Amino acid sequence: MKRRWVSIIQALTIPVAVLLLWLVAAQRDWLAGGLLPSPSEVWAALTHLARRGLLVRHLQTSVLRVLFGFSWAAAMAVPAGVVLGWVRPLRPWLLPSLHFLRQIPPVAWIPMFLLWFGIGEASKHAVIVYAAFFPIFLNTVVGVEQIPRSLWEVSRVLEFSPGKTLIKLVLPGSAVAILSGLRLGLGMSWRALVAAEMLAATSGLGYLVMSARSLVRTDEMVVGMILIGVVGLMMEQLLALVERALLPWNRATAGRGGGSDGSIVGYPKRS
């Protein structure tokens, strides 16, 4: 368990150093001019927002939006990716268009989504679904593609039905890639949501940051930004835990190159 402590200390070194530097800078009045608030001002803004219930409200709104949109994205992207990874003849028809769509960042869709779905929740959900879809989908395709031919042959020799092939071979064989796709997709949709909330929303953490700007409340901006980072980090860590729980066979091989520890599976090449 000693390793764990070491890595926690390593992870915290830079944040703590930055915080100390920030405190010192505030103390020596280097921050005058109002471009950056002092840590105590940020803390005050945080407690103030919390007391008025705004913090929980914005946080909750954003998280719920992401969970809703992300679930839909996962529910569509995993099956679609499995089908495309499995049924090779479909790929040359679909992959080029999908790679084209992938180039258009979620933010660029916001004006269109606002037009189609209005200013309400639906447009935010659309942004999230779009943002999460591609990482999940493309990782799933790669995951299914990477299942060794030797194991496909075993499934044929044992005469697996399509359902059995799915459960015994395709899903577990691509699980590592799917889960890392889910993690990527969650991060993408979180960042896209914040952007959407900044452009068109009346609630959420993105809105918090943007509305602080119009009042030049740098303290609230920083609160919002830090929360966005912390929540994103927590969601990713949560998925990493799920990953470890779901893939017991993978633990032994992880870290020896083919690990599940945050390694990002690349996108398939165009062919």
Partner 1 sequence: MDPLLDIRNVHKVFPGRTPVTAIEHLNISVEKGDFAVILGPSGCGKTTILRLAAGLDFPTGGQVVFNGRPVQAPGRQRALMFQEPRLFPWLTVEQNVAAAGPKELARRSLGSMGLTEFAASYPHELSGGMARRVALARALVGQPDILLLDEPLSNLDLPVRRGLQSELLRMWQQGLSCVLVTHELEEALVLASRILILSPRPARVLWDGQIPLPYPRDRRSDRYLAIKQEIQQAMEGWS
Contact 222, 212 (CB under 8 A): no
Query: For partner 1, which is the closer residue by CB, 178 or 222?
Result: 178
At its nearest, how many Å lie between partner 1 and the CB of residue 122?
Answer: 39
At its nearest, how many Å lie between partner 1 and the CB of residue 177?
Answer: 13
At its nearest, how many Å lie between partner 1 and the CB of residue 249?
Answer: 5
User: What is the torsional sign of CA 135, 140, 141, 142?
Assistant: positive
Query: For partner 1, which is the closer residue by CB, 171 or 195?
Result: 171
Query: For partner 1, which is the closer residue by CB, 73 or 144?
Result: 144
The span from the CA of 210 to the CA of 91, in Å, is: 42
Query: For partner 1, which is the closer residue by CB, 215 or 245?
Result: 245
Query: For partner 1, which is the closer residue by CB, 101 or 158?
Result: 158
At its nearest, how many Å lie between partner 1 and the CB of residue 150?
Answer: 5
Q: Give the residue among 137, 131, 136, 133 at the shortest CA–CA distance from 110.
A: 131
Please report, as ranges, the residues that interact with partner 1 according to CB under 8 A: 150-151, 153-154, 156-160, 164, 168-169, 172-173, 175, 247-250, 252-253
Query: For partner 1, which is the closer residue by CB, 237 or 253?
Result: 253
Cα 50 to Cα 57, 224, 231: the distances in Å are 9, 12, 16
At its nearest, how many Å lie between partner 1 and the CB of residue 88?
Answer: 18
At its nearest, how many Å lie between partner 1 and the CB of residue 245?
Answer: 14
